[in-house]
Structure 1
Amino acid sequence: MKLGFNLLLWSTFITDEHLPIIERLKATGYDGVEIPLFEGTPDHYEKLGRHIKALGLGVTGIGVMPGGGKSAVSADKAERDAGLEHIKWIIDCTAALGGDLAAGPLHQPLGQFSGAGATDDEKQRVAEVHKAAAQYAARSNIKLSVEPLNRFECYFLNTAAQAAALVKAVDEPNYGYLYDTFHFNIEENSMVEVIPATISQINHVHISENNRGAPGAGHIAFQPVFDALKDAGYDGWMTVEAFGSALPDLAAATKIWRPLFERPEQVYEGGYKLMREGWDRA
C-alpha cells in the first residue's frame, strides 16, 4: 500500500512553483503525489515528473470530463470521440509524469443532469469509450480508475455497485474504479460493506472527510475502512483528497463556501498520520 496526496488542495495546474510543497509532502512521509490534469501539455508534465522522480516519489494523475463537446456518456458520437481523445490526453500526461494510474470521473461532465438515472444505452456507450481508453492506457502500463460521484455532482455513476458493473462491462485488466470516502459517505448504506463486495474492481482509493476538509476532523469513521481494505488485500494507492477555499474557481466547483481548516499542514500532516497509523492498526 502506498500513501499519496492530491495537489488539488493548492491548484488545478501544478508548476515549478509548487515544488516546495511537493518537497514538504515527501518530508512528511508520503510515497507519492496526485497531479491534477486540467490543462497543459505532456512536455510540461514530463519536466515536472523528472523533479518528482528525483525526490523519490511516485505519481498518479487525476482529471475530469470538461464538457464543451467532450463526454463519454453523450448520444452524439462526435462528443464521445472527443471525450475519448480527452481521456487519452490525460493518459499521455500521466505517462509523461512517469505515473502508474490515471483517475477521475471520466464518464460525464460535472453538474450535468438528465433528470433520471443512467440508461442502458448510456452505460453501453461509456463502457465502449472506456474500453478503448483502457486499451490505450495499457500501452503505457497505466491503470485507469473511474470515479463514482455523489448524486449532487453527477447522475451516471454514484454507487460502488454501479461502478463495479461498469468495470465488469469494460473488462480490461488495467481498468477499475476509485473508492472515495467522501462520495460513498453520501451514497452507500455502508461504505465499509461495499469494500469486500467490490474489491476485485477497486484499483484506487481516496481518503476524504465528510466536508472535504482535513481527514480525521469530521465524522467519517476511517478505521473500519482501513480494516476492510487491508482484510480484502488492497495494495494500491491510498490518497488524501481535500479542498480549500483559496482558489475561487475550484472552491466554486467543489462548493467550498467557508474555511475548512486553518493551515494546509493540518490537512497533509494529519492525513498522513491518520492513514499511516490506521493502516498499521488494521
Structure 2
Amino acid sequence: MIAFKWWERVTEWLKENRQYEQIRYFHEFWEKNWAADHIKYVKKAADLGYDILEFQAQPLLEMNESRMSEIKKPADDVGIELTYSLGLDKKYDITSADESTRRGGIEYLKAIVERVAFMKGEIISGVSYEGWGSPNHIIDDKSKMLDRSVTAMQEIVKTAADYGVTYCVESVNRFEATIINTAVEAVEYVKMVGSDNVGVLLDTYHMNIEESSMGDAIRYAGDYLKSFHTGENNRLPPGRGHLDWDEIFKAFSDINYTGRIVCEPFVQMGGEVGRDIKVWRNLLEDTSEANLDKEAKGLLEFQKKMAEKYA
C-alpha cells in the first residue's frame, strides 16, 4: 500500500519543490502473502522516494523488543516513518454478544497499541472496531453491535491516549464490515467514543461502493478525518480506473486536510493476499518486480501532480 502525507505547510513546501510522499505496507504490491521482510520494504520505500511505510500491526505481537528495534533503526536511518493497520480477526470481535470474546478483543487491541507506541508510531487504522468480513448470520438491527463496539473502544482509546497514538476507524464496504460503511457512520462512531485519540479513515475503493459523493463524504468527515486510503474502483493504482481524482483532491483542499494519504493497490492474484482481498486475476499484464517498481514511481508522480494542482 502506498501513501503520502500533507504537512501543515504543504503550500510553502510545494513552492520550494519539496514535496514528500509516503508508502503504506507496500510489500503486498509485490508479495502474495501477508508476511514480509519489513526491512527490505523500508529500504525499497526510501529508494522509490516515499517517506512512510505502513504495515500490518498484528505481527508486532509476535516480535520481541529486539526484533522491533531491528526494524525501527533502518527506518530511522533512511527517514521512513512507520505507521500501522489491521483487519481484526473475528475471534477478537469487540461487537460480539459474548463477553469473553469482547474482553479478549479489548486486551488484544490494547496490546497492539502498546507495541505501536514502542515503535514510536503515531497512528493505527483499519477495520479494528469489529471483526473484519461480512457476517454469516442475519442482522436486522446493528445498534447493539454498535453500542458494544463503542463501549469497548472507549477502553481501548484510553491506552492510545496514554501513549499518544491516534486510533482511526476505517469506513469500508458492506462486504467487509457491518457497523461503519459510510463517512456519516464513521463520524457518528467517533462522536460516540468521545476521545481526541480516535479519528476517521476513508478509502476511495470502499467509498466508490457506498457513498453517493466522494467529495461530500470527505467534506462531511472534515476535521475528524485523520487518514485516507486511495485506490481505484478496480484496485489498481490511482489514475488507472474511473474515479474522479479532481473531485477527491478538491475536497481535501476544501477541508484543509493535513493527514496522511495512503494508496492500496492489489494487483496480483494468488496467495493469502489474493484470497483475502478477492483478487482472482492479475490486474497488470506484467507483475515482475521491475514493472511494479515502475508502477510505484508512476503512482508517486500522479499523486504529486494532484497535490500540486490543489495545494
Report the TM-score when normalising by structure 2.
0.84
- Answer yes or no: is 1:230 the counterpart of 2:253: yes
Instruction: Tell me by how many angstroms 1:212 deviates.
Output: 1.4
* 2:274 corresponds to: 251
Instruction: Tell me by how many angstroms 1:117 deviates.
Output: 6.0
Q: 1:202 to 1:120 in 2, by over 3 A?
A: same
- Answer yes or no: is 1:134 the counterpart of 2:154: no
Instruction: Tell me by how many angstroms 1:213 deviates.
Output: 2.0
SS in 2 for 1:272: helix
Q: 1:96 to 1:118 in 2, by over 3 A?
A: farther
Q: For residues 139 and 226 of structure 1, what CA distance do their matches in structure 2 show?
A: 33
> Which of the two has higher C-alpha Rg?
2
* 2:54 corresponds to: 34
Cα contact 1:41–1:93 (8 A) shared by 2: no
Q: Aligned letter for 2:212?
A: N
Instruction: Tell me by how many angstroms 1:38 deviates.
Output: 3.1
* 1:265 corresponds to: 293
Instruction: Tell me by how many angstroms 1:62 deviates.
Output: 0.6
* 2:13 corresponds to: none
Q: For residues 309 and 235 of structure 2, what CA distance do their matches in structure 1 show?
A: 24
> Is there any run of 5+ residues in structure 1 with no aligned partner, and where?
none
Cα contact 1:214–1:260 (8 A) shared by 2: no
> Is there any run of 5+ residues in structure 2 with no aligned partner, and where?
1-5, 8-20
Runs of 4+ displaced beyond 4 Å: none
Judge which range, 122-131 or 84-93, deviates more: 84-93
Q: For residues 153 and 98 of structure 2, what CA distance do their matches in structure 1 show?
A: 16
Cα contact 1:13–1:38 (8 A) shared by 2: no
Q: For residues 42 and 117 of structure 1, what CA distance do their matches in structure 2 show?
A: 43
Q: Aligned letter for 1:65?
A: L
- Number of equivalenced pairs: 279
Q: How do 1:52-91 and structure 2 match up within 5 A?
A: 52-68=75-91, 70-91=92-113
* 1:190 corresponds to: 213
Cα contact 2:34–2:272 (8 A) shared by 1: no
SS in 1 for 2:297: helix
Judge which range, 96-105 or 86-95, deviates more: 86-95
* 2:12 corresponds to: none
SS in 2 for 1:218: coil
Q: 1:222 to 1:138 in 2, by over 3 A?
A: same
- Answer yes or no: is 1:172 the counterpart of 2:172: no
Q: For residues 110 and 118 of structure 1, what CA distance do their matches in structure 2 show?
A: 18
